[in-house]
């Protein structure tokens, strides 16, 4: 086995047989296998791949249940092969599989080389039929990542590359797995700068299926950058949880203003209603963003999650008052520090409890 091709897929049923055909044509004379890593696509992508795998043992499938995420899919696929070199390629035929043999050869011929990147931004490469908007966004993200990376990689956002499998295995414990830019994750995780070359290719337009990354791209990207820069001190997930908690102040104050100031409802009743609305808003925002990879779906799961979230937050509120009250008693007259300490304690508490009991993460 010389080469494993890892293909992350989500709803790519129509593309799977086409890609295997293209790999077959491109990799004549190479000993290869392809590993599809599918996040339980509703369109039956995994089954389509298994159908091929029954006839062709070079085709393998990992079907992940209850998980989403392009980066973690790539990591798991790369760690699941015995091949010495592994390439990652999109399942939607937008990358140029004809480059694979040259990527493999480059790594085989030069033992000092670690990574070969399929690049849209070196001479001979291109972004195909992208509109101006997408080109501009991509250029901005590319500049930002090059700053984080501190290497002269022209296309650090590339999702198409080949790397020595042992390097991936060595770096795997350090990878953040957040977002979609696995190459950037690998290159920034390595203490020793990885040696790379870039080979040009032109990004193709998608013929079958639709892009999943358009909507979440910007947020995932910022989270990944945060994680690389300060993630060791403040985990990205906790930061997002706190940010959403802060955002909860807006619906809280709006309901309070409407009910108490506007409609003349008693303060305590209005405050209780406002807290309920804020908790509900926080629950849905956290479900959509902070825990997007373990998102609760369906009326029952959502209702159960909402109840446990409210319970967790109520305990947090008691802890908040307890801590603040205690500190207030320690130094008579002090109220700012005790209040902030109470908020900090309840934030950590709510986060720990809800991630364990609402979204089932350990």
What residues line the site for ligand GDP (CB under 6 A)? 8-10, 12, 37-39, 68-70, 73, 90-92, 94, 211-213
Report residue 84 as tokens: 């010495």
Between 92 and 97, whose beta carbon lies closer to Mg ion?
A: 92
Q: Considering only residues 76-105, where is the footprint of Mg ion by CB under 5 A? A: 92, 94
Between 8 and 177, whose beta carbon lies closer to ligand GDP?
A: 8
8 A C-beta contact, residue 121 and residue 142: yes
Q: Which does residue 212 touch among ligand GDP, Mg ion, none (CB within 5 to 8 A, set by kind)? A: ligand GDP
| DSSP line for 200-245 | E-BPPPP-SS--SSTTTHHHHHHHHHHHHHHTTTS-HHHHHHHHHH
Quick one: which of 316, 315, 350 has its CA closest to 241? 350
Q: How many CB atoms lie under 10 A from the CB of residue 9?
A: 27
Q: How many CB atoms lie under 10 A from the CB of residue 272?
A: 12
In the bound complex, what is the minimum distance in angstroms from residue 252's beta carbon to ligand GDP?
33
In the bound complex, what is the minimum distance in angstroms from residue 140's beta carbon to ligand GDP?
15
User: Does 9 interact with Mg ion (rule: CB under 5 A)?
Assistant: no
Half-sphere exposure of 115 (CA within 13 A, CB side): 26
Distance in angstroms (rounded) separating the CA atoms of residues 2 and 240: 42
Q: Which does residue 161 touch among Mg ion, ligand GDP, none (CB within 5 to 8 A, set by kind)? A: none
Between 15 and 145, whose beta carbon lies closer to Mg ion?
A: 15
Q: Considering only residues 153-192, where is the footprint of Mg ion by CB under 5 A? A: none
Residues with Cβ < 8 Å from 41, sequence gap 6 or more? 9, 10, 11, 12, 13
Q: Which does residue 156 touch among Mg ion, ligand GDP, none (CB within 5 to 8 A, set by kind)? A: none
| DSSP line for 109-167 | H-TT--EEEEESSSTT-B-TT--HHHHHHHHHHHHHHHHHHTS--S-TT-S-EEEEHHH
Report residue 295 as tokens: 């998102």
Between 109 and 133, whose beta carbon lies closer to ligand GDP?
A: 133
In the bound complex, what is the minimum distance in angstroms from residue 359's beta carbon to Mg ion?
28
Between 9 and 346, whose beta carbon lies closer to ligand GDP?
A: 9
Q: Which does residue 198 touch among ligand GDP, Mg ion, none (CB within 5 to 8 A, set by kind)? A: none
Query: What is the total count of residues that contact Mg ion (CB under 5 A)?
Result: 2
Between 109 and 214, whose beta carbon lies closer to ligand GDP?
A: 214
Q: Which does residue 73 touch among Mg ion, ligand GDP, none (CB within 5 to 8 A, set by kind)? A: ligand GDP
8 A C-beta contact, residue 237 and residue 293: no
> What residue ranges bind Mg ion (CB under 5 A)?
92, 94
């Amino acid at each position: 086995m010389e080469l494993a091709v890892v293909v992350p897929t989500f709803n790519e049923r129509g593309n799977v047989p086409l890609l295997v055909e293209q790999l077959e044509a491109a990799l004549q004379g190479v000993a290869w296998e392809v590993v599809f890593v599918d996040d339980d696509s509703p369109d039956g992508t995994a089954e389509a791949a298994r159908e091929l795998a029954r006839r062709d043992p070079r085709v393998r499938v990992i079907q992940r249940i209850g998980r989403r995420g392009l980066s973690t899919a790539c990591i798991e696929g790369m760690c699941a092969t015995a091949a010495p070199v592994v390439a990652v390629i999109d399942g939607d035929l937008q990358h140029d599989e004809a480059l694979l043999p040259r990527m493999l050869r480059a790594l085989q011929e030069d033992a000092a080389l670690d990574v070969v990147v399929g690049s849209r931004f070196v001479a001979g490469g291109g972004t195909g039929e992208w509109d101006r908007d997408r080109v501009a966004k991509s250029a901005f993200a590319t500049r930002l990542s090059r700053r984080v990376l501190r290497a002269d990689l022209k296309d650090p956002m590339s999702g198409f590359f080949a790397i020595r499998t042992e390097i991936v295995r060595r770096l795997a414990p350090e990878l953040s797995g957040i977002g979609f830019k696995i190459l950037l994750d690998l290159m920034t995780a390595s203490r020793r700068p990885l040696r790379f070359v870039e080979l040009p290719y032109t990004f193709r337009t998608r013929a079958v299926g639709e892009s999943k990354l358009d909507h979440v791209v910007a947020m995932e990207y910022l989270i990944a950058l945060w994680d690389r820069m300060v993630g060791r001190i403040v985990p990205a997930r906790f930061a997002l949880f706190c940010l959403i908690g802060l955002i909860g102040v807006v619906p809280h104050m709006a309901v309070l203003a409407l009910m108490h100031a506007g409609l003349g409802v008693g303060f305590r009743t209005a405050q209780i209603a406002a807290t309920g609305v804020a908790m509900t808003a926080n629950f849905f925002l956290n479900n959509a963003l902070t825990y997007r990879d373990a998102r609760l779906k369906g009326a029952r799961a959502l209702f159960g999650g909402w109840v446990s979230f409210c319970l967790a937050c109520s305990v947090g509120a008691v802890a908040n008052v307890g801590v603040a009250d205690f500190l207030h008693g320690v130094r008579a007259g002090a109220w700012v520090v005790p209040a902030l300490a109470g908020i900090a304690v309840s934030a950590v508490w709510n986060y720990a409890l809800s991630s364990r009991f609402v979204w089932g993460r350990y």
